[in-house]
Chain A
């Protein structure tokens, strides 16, 4: 037993000098607060039926357009429905569409970038050329075109936002792969006879993860923003579902009746996106110091 003790102690000291990245992340105040805000909003949205005594669809016309009060925390909408409850349910939809879209962007973008970066040559020019075409249609317009093609629906909006994110993810992955490809461990892998796929997926990909995690948080932020814009235009989430964006569209029509109605859904979007951006900045500082300040 005796010889083991020092080994264990040494591990403890390394752990305190180089704490796990999650702990280093939480030591940064903006990132920690952002993470907390996200957890609270996420939990509240998930537990919406438990937290709120109201049915999101239950109308209460006498109380329409009331301001925040102890009965209605954030006031009510044009039919006297509780705004707090409606925002919680809408947050579920917005976040779900955002996360779904980001998953799609990464599911398609990462393999494409990996393939382009590792194979090089004609494969690379073909893939990156296709990505450049997608990037040439500016921002939201690409999503608009896709929604126009597929027809406005919640699923199609998710697909459109997902496609929009693919080029960014593919370009980033390729850029990191290009650096990693020249490292010694890739050479070593080849020397022991590993196949290209094995090296790419098992050796290179894990080393590309830090920038991809950072990008994931930032991409989610912009996906939620785009979803809000699409739904605001009436081309995203469709009734009977409502997202924060489509709520804002309805609320805008009653801007003379109620101030709070247009304030709170937008404020919720802003809080979520701001937290994701701050978290992304924190993650970058911790995981990928090379990119700091960019």
Chain B
């Protein structure tokens, strides 16, 4: 699968006109036609496409992603430098989202039709309709510009200054988390509604278990399985959404790098970071598939 994706991304970025060196040229000293040809030969851009692809792939599998067309740095270094920031932002956002979405979704389903349910469903629809970057801008406007509780933009590595790092993290993580809350809550609510009508839930109640135990042990466990699938798929959107959020908050992650590189026509960096995103996405969904067995014993034999 990833192999096909790599052909697609590579092909798409190479097939169309637009010379990366011509774009890079604008910022550097002007180059003569011979210089340009020499540069192209140096990175192998004068070779036929399939050869370029096979070269790139074999190098990539060995951990060498080539050099940036823009500033001639090793792409592997450029890309890996951005990974920690994206990982930190995404993981904290997912944690925030689950902490809010799981109780909210279950309570809404258990008290179906109540005011609370109405509120949760309403917030869910609103959350799905908010442009993530606008929500980010509104957060900045309120909490950073007006109230000045948090810094506006920027990033400090955790190891350098943990407290300042968290201060910078708060707004982007809250924004990204809220975007993920809405779909998760909706799915959890509807799958809880499905489970709650099952016979075995009645049985659990009949043998005298407290309602709280019934919900937590029997309902939530079963309802989490479909939710997990959706969360896995939603993570794709989250990764996409993180691109815009990173740009809004000046968060130096992979997403920001991708957008910068697209503007600079730095294909070697673009294709590497898109491939990295796709790999992460496929990995997450594989992990989700494996988690089924842990959560739901019925899947284990299958």
State the A residues within 8 Å of B (CB).
129, 132-133, 135-141, 144-151, 221, 225, 228-229, 232-235, 245, 248, 252, 255-256, 259, 262-263, 266, 269-270, 273-274, 276-278, 281, 293-294
Contact = CB atoms under 8 A, between A and B. Distances in A.
Given A133-B4, A266-B138, A229 B9 contact: no
B258 A139 contact: no
B237 A138 contact: yes
Given A135-B236, A137-B281, 13 more contacts: A138-B235, A139-B236, A141-B240, A141-B278, A144-B258, A225-B131, A232-B244, A233-B247, A255-B141, A274-B129, A276-B129, A278-B125, A293-B193
B248 interface: yes
Contact of B190 (A133, A141, A150, A293): A293
A149 B12 contact: yes
B158 interface: no
A72 to B, nearest CB: 20
Q: Which of A135, A149, A262 has the most CB of B within 10 A?
A: A149
B105 interface: no
A137 B138 contact: no
Interface of chain B, main secondary structure? helix
B278 A138 contact: yes
Q: Which of A229, A270, A281, A293 has the most CB of B within 10 A?
A: A229
Contact of B282 (A136, A228, A245): A136
B134 A269 contact: yes
B134 A132 contact: no
B178 to A, nearest CB: 13
A269 B190 contact: no
A148 B262 CA distance: 6
CB-based closest 9 A-B pairs? A139-B240, A140-B240, A138-B236, A266-B134, A274-B129, A273-B129, A148-B262, A139-B237, A293-B190
Interface in B7-24: 8-9, 12-13, 15-16, 18
Q: Which of A138, A151, A262 has the most CB of B within 10 A?
A: A138
Nearest to A233: B259
A259 B141 contact: yes
Contacts of B277: 137-138, 141
A258 to B, nearest CB: 10
Contacts of A245: 131
A269 B243 contact: no
A132 to B, nearest CB: 7
A150 B265 CA distance: 11
Interface of chain A, main secondary structure? helix
Given A266-B134, A277-B125, A149 B278 contact: no
B21 to A, nearest CB: 16
Q: Which of B1, B16, B125, B137 has the most CB of A within 10 A?
A: B137
Interface in B121-139: 125-126, 128-134, 137-138
Nearest to A227: B131
A129 B134 CA distance: 35
Interface string B16-39: 101000000000000000000000
Contacts of A141: 239-240, 243, 258, 274, 277-278
5 contacts: A133-B1, A136-B2, A137-B8, A140-B241, A221-B129
Interface in B206-260: 235-237, 239-241, 243-244, 247-248, 258-259
A293 B196 CA distance: 14
B240 A235 contact: no
A263 B237 CA distance: 24
A266 B131 contact: yes
B145 interface: yes
B140 interface: yes
A137 B276 CA distance: 10
A129 B15 CA distance: 22
B54 interface: no
Contacts of B237: 138-140
B291 interface: no
A140 B137 contact: no
B9 A140 contact: no
Contacts of B180: none
Contacts of A276: 129
A136 B134 contact: no
B270 interface: yes
A137 B128 contact: no
B283 to A, nearest CB: 11
B18 A146 contact: no
B263 A234 contact: yes
Contacts of B240: 138-141
A270 B1 contact: no
